[in-house]
A and B are shown apart, each in its own frame.
Chain A
Amino acid sequence: MRYSGFKVIKEALTGHKGWKPAWRDPEPQSHYDIVIIGGGGHGLATAHYLAKIYGEKKIAVLEKGWIGGGNVGRNTTIVRSNYLLDGNEPFYEMSLKLWEGLEQDLNYNAMISQRGIMNLIHSDAQRDAFVRRGNAMMLNGADAEYLDLDQIKKEYPFLNFDDARFPIKGGLAQRRGGTVRHDAVAWGYARSADSHGVDIIQNCEVTGFRIENGKCLGVETSRGYIGASKVGCAVAGSSGRLMAKANMRLPIESHVLQAFVSEGLKPVLPGVITFGAGHFYVSQSDKGGLVFGGDLDGYNSYAQRGNLPVVEDVCEGGMAIMPMIGRARLLRMWGGIMDMSMDGSPIIDRTHIDGLYFNGGWCYGGFKATPASGMVFAHLLAKDEPHETATAYRFDRFKTGHMIDEKGMGNQPNLH
């Protein structure tokens, strides 16, 4: 069933009796060509591109709970491609391009809003670093714009420009960045994948892998054994737990990241802004809530909740750049589990086990990567070789010294 303006009007006039579920609820078959573990944004996007672009048949997505209940439903909805390093920027720029065409591709309203993102600059050294980053972005076909103080004052007059400690000196803007309705991303990909014949199997937890002679034959699940020629894992924060079932250790730690939303306000914040002297990012949702977040709590955790010191730290960051945020009341806060890799960049690669593929280590940058992650993982699963934008995301880069360390923090996952 295609969605259209005509369909909306027709249903409005006929009592909304013609709407059908957006995807089926199939029983698992005994064997699939490709099984994807994880019904989040990345897993569903992978299934969509496998079926639509790479023409694969007999695909299943296994989800232990309900689809979109993990990090795709827990993030701060920001999309951007403002990376510095060669291993990353072409990949994230492809992602942003895919976001731009996503709604037409899926025939689904994901409320993609290219309202722009601006990273604030607070010192001369930071200006140099951000201008360099902007140049790297433009070299890779992305857009970047240096804003001086007067331009920022025109667009964001309420910021705390003359703070004694962290005065605002300028900003690096990416106009094509913005926000996306995050749940709709999961639902849109699920609906499209389903319409191309993908079985989306919810409440189906993978409890183990069947591996014989170094080859993965299928997965044991809470709904029985499912055979598969290829198995792709895209479970983000649960990567460590899942891959341990295949006796694999990963260069990943799981950490909790908190996010916050204020009560609904009239429009006050036109784009996404980030604080350059602390760690704070904020945008305003279409419902009016200020959606914001900051640092990880900093310790390994699989609990989808954090602790109060980080709440204080994030709110201090907000008050430092945008004092009017102190007048808004906090409505909700929540936590998600981030698969923090040792260099802050993802891994999309074959494993040493034949037929078993891994997609993870997204740290807290997974949402913006959703379309590209799906595309390159589909490419890897279908063709058994990496997509040209994802050749750097290898498992063995930690051994060979080809780390992609945007922040230059070394092997300290809680600092990336």
Chain B
Amino acid sequence: MIINHPLLGPRDSAEFVYLGDASLIERPDPAAETALADFVDYAYMRENPAGSLRELWFHEAGDRSWLVVTRNTMTHDISDVQMARDVARKIGRSK
């Protein structure tokens, strides 16, 4: 698979480490009433779709940036690549 890095251009996926579903960006609020259930859900439960999946890849052998890659799990086709930082800021994460 070739991942089209927004800054570096097309890179071999072997340069990356895979973390999983990009919902991991949206960490629950630890002070919420429902924090325990929220964190069990966050840490362990997955959509695991057969089709389009947004997922986190870490460019370990490259610029060490985190990417959000939209990839089809049936065909391995990659339709979109964004910097995870931009995605996180867009949903209100500042750090």
Residues of A within 8 A of B (CB): 238, 240-241, 244, 249-254, 298-303, 307, 309, 342, 398-399, 411-414
Contact = CB atoms under 8 A, between A and B. Distances in A.
Contact of B76 (A240, A244, A307, A309): A307
Residue of B13, B18, B47 contacting most chain A CB atoms (<10 Å):
B18
A180 B90 CA distance: 53
Contacts of A238: 50
A303 B45 CA distance: 21
Contacts of B74: 302-303
Size class of the B contact interface (CB-based, 8 Å): 20 to 34
Given A302-B73, A307-B76, A411 B48 contact: no
Contact of A240 (B1, B44, B48, B71): B48
Contacts of A302: 50, 73-74
Nearest to B53: A300
Residue of B43, B44, B55 contacting most chain A CB atoms (<10 Å):
B44
Contacts of A412: 19-20
What DSSP secondary structure best describes chain B's contact surface?
Answer: mixed
B46 A303 contact: no
B46 A240 contact: yes
B28 to A, nearest CB: 14
Nearest to A300: B73
B50 A253 contact: no
Interface in B1-56: 1, 12-14, 18-21, 40, 43-50, 53, 55
Contact of B18 (A241, A249, A299, A342): A299
19 contacts: A240-B50, A241-B48, A244-B48, A250-B48, A252-B46, A299-B18, A299-B71, A300-B21, A300-B48, A301-B76, A302-B50, A303-B75, A303-B76, A307-B76, A309-B14, A398-B44, A399-B40, A412-B20, A414-B18
A45 B75 CA distance: 31
Given A299-B18, A303-B74, A414-B18, A249 B40 contact: no
A252 B50 CA distance: 13
Nearest to B12: A309
B45 A249 contact: yes
A303 B44 contact: no
B14 to A, nearest CB: 4
Give me the 7 closest cross-chain CB pairs, A-B, nearest first: A240-B48, A309-B14, A398-B44, A302-B50, A251-B44, A249-B45, A299-B18
Given A298-B18, A307-B13, A413-B20, A342 B76 contact: no
Contact of B20 (A249, A300, A398): A300
A240 B18 CA distance: 19
Contacts of B75: 303
Contacts of B55: 299-300
Nearest to A307: B1
Contacts of A241: 48-50
A105 B14 CA distance: 47
Contacts of A413: 20
Nearest to A252: B48
Given A244-B47, A250-B48, A411-B44, 12 more contacts: A249-B45, A249-B48, A253-B46, A254-B48, A300-B55, A300-B73, A307-B1, A307-B13, A342-B43, A398-B44, A399-B40, A412-B20
A219 B84 CA distance: 40
B40 A398 contact: yes
Contacts of A253: 20-21, 46, 48
B46 A249 contact: yes
A354 B40 CA distance: 23
Nearest to A239: B48
